[in-house]
Structure 1
Amino acid sequence: MIEATWIAFAFVMGLVARGIGLPPLVGYLAAGFALAGLGDYIGVGPRDSVALEHIAHLGVLLLLFTVGLKLKIGNLLRREVIGGGLLHFAISSLIFLPAIMLILDLPWQQGLLLAIALSFSSTVLAAKVLEGKRELRAFHGRVAIGVLIIQDLIALVVMSLASGKVPSAWALLLFGLPLLRPLLFRLLDVSGHEELMVLLGLLLALVVGGYGFEQLGLSSELGALAFGAMLAKHKRATELSNSLWSIKEVFLVGFFLQIGIGGLPDLHAMLFALSMAVLLPLKGALFFFLFLLFRLRARSAFLAGVSLTNYSEFGLIVASVVLPQWIIPLAITVALSFVISAPLNRIAHPLYERLARRLIPLERDIRHPDEQPVSLGDAQILVMGMGRTGRAAYDHLQEKGFLTVGLDSDPVVIEQSNKVGRRVLFADGEDQMFWQHLQMPSIQAVILALNDEEAKVISTQKLRERGFTGLIVSHALYEDIARRIQEAGADRTYLTMSEAGTGLAEHVARGLQERG
């Protein structure tokens, strides 16, 4: 019965949140607080919240495992990731400490631990938002996820030092984990494409990674992330991630419910949360200026900073170990930051467009190597988006003798395409500075094969604004999206499913003619 109550509350509040323009996860948080307030009337008690805590933990592990599947360790070994993560941790802790000491009458040791807990950003929220916008592998997405992983590692160190616990001596065996990669690759190869592959993902994320790391005195979250990262280079890593998607999403609803169901706040907790919410813009601004320091352009620094402008569930985990009396105030603070951050991330791109004139002059003269201007040389046709549709279009045009070039924001896709002889460059179609600096002297036609519909509209607008008069062709799943792309300036927009059906019919007709 209690599970039915959770599902009903989560669905109704999620639907309400979506209806007023907020992400459903904000509704799930509200559902958790509603369950906490109505617990005595609907039969929800502490024992039930313990069960929900286990479900929430599984959701976090699966999320981190799927993040690991899309992660390359090389992305962590970057100055902007390590330097930005460490400097932000140190500076934000020092900023929060005097504010906390001013508001609260605490010993400085407790104040410092509370400041450290608030210095982290939410891995769950940022990863979910970036994944929802298909930006996990975009440059700013990789920077944000890298910083979050650095923060999570810092949190693990803080918990170990503050709790007095040390990892087991057997934890040294983890240095040999890379030796298991061939075995893991082989297991994924033989697991097929159905339920056995899903079970393999659950086994690695929850049992081997999660439970196994716990037995060694380490974080189960770190274990799930590590085993996902070990499979990141496998050709079926994306398929495995997609197969776990629905399970992960359902369990993550439990995570957001659990934050709210932990208990209703008193006045002091609410005042503390509101005070910390006032400081939240400082956290995002600090990320922005640190990223600029490490040569990121204003757009990448802004988008990565917005993704990190929130407080972290890891702060709750730290508090549960060293500051248990602060769990509820911190839970309210984290929840309020989610309410602020989720809609802010939703409008991050148009918000940057409005602020670009003020932010761009703050850039350093030196560009980050990953954000150099793109030249398309003597290519005649540009294919934007090198997924299945883009690759098929590219290969067909190459066979016809056209000089073709591809653009994509996914480094893995670019690397795989270049290995088989396609010329594919890194670019983000929603980046206005990219369009201003793009050199395309010989391009006669552009094919928009991007996954994101908004990116197709923006790309079309930017192409026409810069004076491109050549052919722009796109595909879309729905008629209203096709109409928007054409209104933005595209010459032709094809409905994907209709074209697929027409293509099949043509093959049948040709086959019958050949038989006849």
Structure 2
Amino acid sequence: MEIAILYDVLIIFGLSLLVGLLFNRIRIPPMIGFIVAGVIAGPYALSLIHSPEQVDVLAEIGIILLLFSIGLEFSFRQLWEIKEMVLRGGAIQVFLAAILTIAATYLAGCTWNEAVVLGFVVSLSSTAVVLKILYDRGELDSPHGKLALGILIFQDLIAIPMMMAIPFLASMGVTGGDPLYLVLVKDLFLVAVLVAVAKWVMPWLLFQVARTRSSELFLLFVISVCFSVAWLASFAGLSLAMGALLAGLIISESEFSHQAIGRIVPFRDIFTAFFFVSIGMLLDVGFFLGHIWIVLFFLAIILLLKFVTSATAAAILGYQMRTIILSGIALAQIGEFSFIISRSALEFGILSHDVYQTFLIVALSTMAITPFFIASGPGIAGYICSHGLFQRLFPARCQWIPSERKLARSGHLVIIGYGVNGQNLVKAAKLGGISYTIIDMNPDSVRKAKREGEPIIYGDATTEGVLDHAGIDTARIAVVAINDPVATRRIIGLCRQKNPGITLIARTRYLIEVPVLRDIGADEVIPEEFETSIEIFTRVLQAYSVPSDTVQKLVGEIRSGSYEALRSTSTSPPGPSLDIPGMEVRELTVGDGAPIAGKTLGDILLKKRYGVTVLAIRRGGAIIPHPDGLCALHPGDEVVLTGTIEKIEASLHLFLSQ
């Protein structure tokens, strides 16, 4: 048996790796590759797995660790920060999708409990797939990215009672089992016990184990808690996965939760792969080929249903049409929690084999097309927002709020995006007495800014009407400070088209976007990745007392386009620095054409005029200690100065090349 399971593990790892690499090239998440690997190796295809029961055990461990880690990462504080998106947006989306699915399937002939389970699984989307794609596209902080994250968090939370409801639904059907009231009493008793353990027992136990400073003992204790609570939960009628989630919640509020997550994640990733492979092994290829038109029909229905319900949630929250469309597209698939719920429902006898097979195929298809669906989103949103019919039907969504009155102004600054960068820019504009207009599509930010008296417009800057309303044609400068790279490109193109003489400044995250945005029409592009690297190496060089003029020269070269300087190894490391309490010692290099080049120290009078003293001069390989007033300075000389930091900085311009 040991040899058989090792053979199966090798087959699973090998196939998962090959399919995962192939799918990675076409930007499909590895999770889909694991499922496809299971299909290939499963009994309905090549039958490469000799011990499917053993694989199921590994898959169950994977689900236990997955749910345990989710419980560990649960944070009430993060939930509160996006509470409106989570509570209102998520509740609206899940409720609409579940109710419509339950009604449709029940009318189509499904039993009551079967219809409820299908409503559960259809209402959930894939957190892993969506967040991975949005992160790779740099859209996680965009309005539709934040909204999608909020709805996904609610879905992950509501999946907990959905999983708990499976035994209840089974007791309502024909499958027998304990009475509903008995199952409910056992569940409530278990939850009460776990709450007491989490509050009074677990912190003390974790502290005692952590005091040993043994990573092995800590990992062993955490895994023991996970599996023991999961085992106890099974006696209360809950699934092992549900028990593992409760185990994670026990530890999540302690100061040791981050350490526990770090230890569990590698095991979780390995064993979770077995779960998705086992899902693929259950997929009947023959059933799919024999019912392909039925599968395609349900695929179209579910995609449309998920899009409409997610878009409706975004619309009710007051978002612009572009965010509504992109959010609906991003959440139009079925999620990984749905696999767990459906498999549990199959084991309890709620779902039939044919219904389960149809669900697996449709769910896998929705996840597989998600990367391509999301990639086409900006084009679809742009077409709809610019179409005359939609602009007439939804003028406030596609352009701007009709009650807003266009301000007659010229030569002003247009700030697109009212996040941290936009707010700081507003402060700078106020200090400089610069007239400005703000555009933002976050209704909460707009409402708050209006209360503060800011000239802000609620609208989508990728549409011409909003830019016209902000007076882009008469503006002097426009700054695009949003997190959506696709929208940034379109906004720059529209601004340049409507005002060829405007100065366009754009913010982006990565250096790779700089040439793209410049080609579209941006005059200046500020990459956060680049500016962060400059700030980091500046702090490092200053800590090593590298001459200030050398640091400024390097920064100037990089900012002027010499990005290769970050990778250059030609600069020699600085020598040891002096540490004199109350004084600063710096070494400055005389640049070509500097004001002091060719002059003597007596001519310059550094001490009298600037309050700094020359300690020594390094010229070539020679050191000139305590130079007198007749000593002349030449380009390339390294002058060691002492004085306060303010005095040295005041004299810095004398050493710079002119």
Is the shorter-chain TM-score for this pair beyond 0.5, marking a shared fold? Answer: yes
* Residues 1:489 and 2:521 are matched in the alignment: yes
Q: By how many angstroms is 1:44 displaced?
A: 5.8
CA-based RMSD: 5.8
Provide closer, same or farther for how the CA distance between residues 245 and 108 of structure 1 changes in structure 2, counting only shifts above 3 A.
Answer: closer
Matches within 5 A, 1:84-483: 84-99=93-108, 101=109, 108-109=111-112, 111-113=114-116, 115-124=118-127, 125-133=129-137, 134-135=139-140, 138=143, 139-142=146-149, 144-145=151-152, 148-149=155-156, 151-152=158-159, 155-156=162-163, 158-164=165-171, 165-166=183-184, 167-172=187-192, 207=226, 211=230, 214=233, 219-220=242-243, 223=246, 253-267=273-287, 271=291, 273-287=295-309, 290-291=312-313, 292=315, 295-324=318-347, 325-326=352-353, 327-356=356-385, 357=387, 359=390, 363=394, 382=415, 390=421, 432=463, 436=467, 439=470, 445=477, 453-465=485-497, 467=499, 469-474=502-507, 477-478=510-511, 480-483=512-515
Contact 2:441–2:459 at 8 Å: present in 1 too? yes
Provide closer, same or farther for how the CA distance between residues 275 and 88 of structure 1 changes in structure 2, counting only shifts above 3 A.
Answer: same
- TM-score, normalised on structure 2? 0.56
Contact 1:59–1:252 at 8 Å: present in 2 too? yes
Contact 2:58–2:274 at 8 Å: present in 1 too? no
Counterpart residue number, 2:91: 82
Counterpart residue number, 1:104: none
Provide closer, same or farther for how the CA distance between residues 307 and 111 of structure 1 changes in structure 2, counting only shifts above 3 A.
Answer: same
Q: By how many angstroms is 1:156 displaced?
A: 3.4
Unaligned 5+ runs, structure 2: 1-5, 172-182, 549-585, 589-611, 613-639, 642-658
Q: By how many angstroms is 1:305 displaced?
A: 2.2
**AA at the equivalent of 1:18:** N
* Residues 1:31 and 2:37 are matched in the alignment: yes
Provide closer, same or farther for how the CA distance between residues 335 and 25 of structure 1 changes in structure 2, counting only shifts above 3 A.
Answer: same
1:47-89: CA deviations, max 9, x gaps? 1242134224434554576575743373367544434432331
Provide closer, same or farther for how the CA distance between residues 301 and 312 of structure 1 changes in structure 2, counting only shifts above 3 A.
Answer: same
How many Å separate the matches in 2 of 1:51 and 1:28?
Answer: 14
Q: Which has more radius of gyration?
A: 2
How many Å separate the matches in 2 of 1:396 and 1:241?
Answer: 41
Contact 1:117–1:314 at 8 Å: present in 2 too? no
Q: By how many angstroms is 1:469 displaced?
A: 1.0
SS at match of 1:512: strand
Provide closer, same or farther for how the CA distance between residues 48 and 222 of structure 1 changes in structure 2, counting only shifts above 3 A.
Answer: closer
- TM-score, normalised on structure 1? 0.68
Q: By how many angstroms is 1:499 displaced?
A: 5.6
Provide closer, same or farther for how the CA distance between residues 288 and 487 of structure 1 changes in structure 2, counting only shifts above 3 A.
Answer: same
How many Å separate the matches in 1 of 2:393 and 2:157?
Answer: 26
Provide closer, same or farther for how the CA distance between residues 171 and 98 of structure 1 changes in structure 2, counting only shifts above 3 A.
Answer: same
How many Å separate the matches in 1 of 2:488 and 2:358?
Answer: 43
How many Å separate the matches in 2 of 1:71 and 1:241?
Answer: 19
1:224-280: CA deviations, max 9, x gaps? 89689979xx9xx99999999888766654554332133534426862544421322
Q: By how many angstroms is 1:457 displaced?
A: 2.7
Counterpart residue number, 1:8: 14
* Residues 1:509 and 2:547 are matched in the alignment: yes
1:140-191: CA deviations, max 9, x gaps? 32453255247525623541421343213242478899989xx89xx9xx99
**AA at the equivalent of 1:355:** I
Contact 1:88–1:290 at 8 Å: present in 2 too? no
**AA at the equivalent of 1:141:** A
1:369-406: CA deviations, max 9, x gaps? x9x9899999958485867xx59986996898687999
**AA at the equivalent of 2:105:** F
Contact 1:373–1:434 at 8 Å: present in 2 too? no
1:268-306: CA deviations, max 9, x gaps? 686254442132233135415643466554333322322
Provide closer, same or farther for how the CA distance between residues 397 and 225 of structure 1 changes in structure 2, counting only shifts above 3 A.
Answer: farther
The range that moved more, 72-81 or 425-434, is: 425-434
1:5-62: CA deviations, max 9, x gaps? 4333223212222334544443333222122257744656331242134224434554
How many Å separate the matches in 2 of 1:407 and 1:176?
Answer: 50
How many Å separate the matches in 2 of 1:430 and 1:210?
Answer: 51
**AA at the equivalent of 2:489:** V
Provide closer, same or farther for how the CA distance between residues 391 and 44 of structure 1 changes in structure 2, counting only shifts above 3 A.
Answer: farther
How many Å separate the matches in 2 of 1:355 and 1:228?
Answer: 47
Counterpart residue number, 1:71: 79
Unaligned 5+ runs, structure 1: 102-106
The range that moved more, 398-407 or 465-474, is: 398-407
How many Å separate the matches in 1 of 2:267 and 2:404?
Answer: 40
Query: Which residue, out of 23, 36, 58, partners 2:65?
Result: 58
Provide closer, same or farther for how the CA distance between residues 300 and 394 of structure 1 changes in structure 2, counting only shifts above 3 A.
Answer: closer
Contact 2:117–2:345 at 8 Å: present in 1 too? no
SS at match of 1:310: coil
How many Å separate the matches in 2 of 1:398 and 1:244?
Answer: 49
RCO comparison, higher one (Cα < 8 Å, 6+)? 1
How many Å separate the matches in 2 of 1:137 and 1:224?
Answer: 34
How many Å separate the matches in 1 of 2:27 and 2:65?
Answer: 28
How many Å separate the matches in 1 of 2:117 and 2:517?
Answer: 49
How many Å separate the matches in 2 of 1:19 and 1:350?
Answer: 22
**AA at the equivalent of 1:512:** E
Q: Which has the higher helix share?
A: 1
Provide closer, same or farther for how the CA distance between residues 493 and 5 of structure 1 changes in structure 2, counting only shifts above 3 A.
Answer: farther
How many Å separate the matches in 1 of 2:136 and 2:529?
Answer: 23
Contact 2:148–2:331 at 8 Å: present in 1 too? no
Contact 2:437–2:470 at 8 Å: present in 1 too? no
Provide closer, same or farther for how the CA distance between residues 439 and 449 of structure 1 changes in structure 2, counting only shifts above 3 A.
Answer: closer
Contact 2:440–2:456 at 8 Å: present in 1 too? yes
Contact 1:122–1:313 at 8 Å: present in 2 too? yes
How many Å separate the matches in 1 of 2:475 and 2:260?
Answer: 37
How many Å separate the matches in 1 of 2:465 and 2:248?
Answer: 32
How many Å separate the matches in 1 of 2:369 and 2:269?
Answer: 21
Q: By how many angstroms is 1:495 displaced?
A: 6.2
Q: By how many angstroms is 1:486 displaced?
A: 0.6
SS at match of 2:547: helix
Provide closer, same or farther for how the CA distance between residues 81 and 318 of structure 1 changes in structure 2, counting only shifts above 3 A.
Answer: closer
1:180-229: CA deviations, max 9, x gaps? 9xx89xx9xx99xxx99xx89x969x849985994776635864896899
Aligned pair count?
482
SS at match of 1:472: strand
Q: By how many angstroms is 1:472 displaced?
A: 0.9
How many Å separate the matches in 1 of 2:279 and 2:68?
Answer: 16
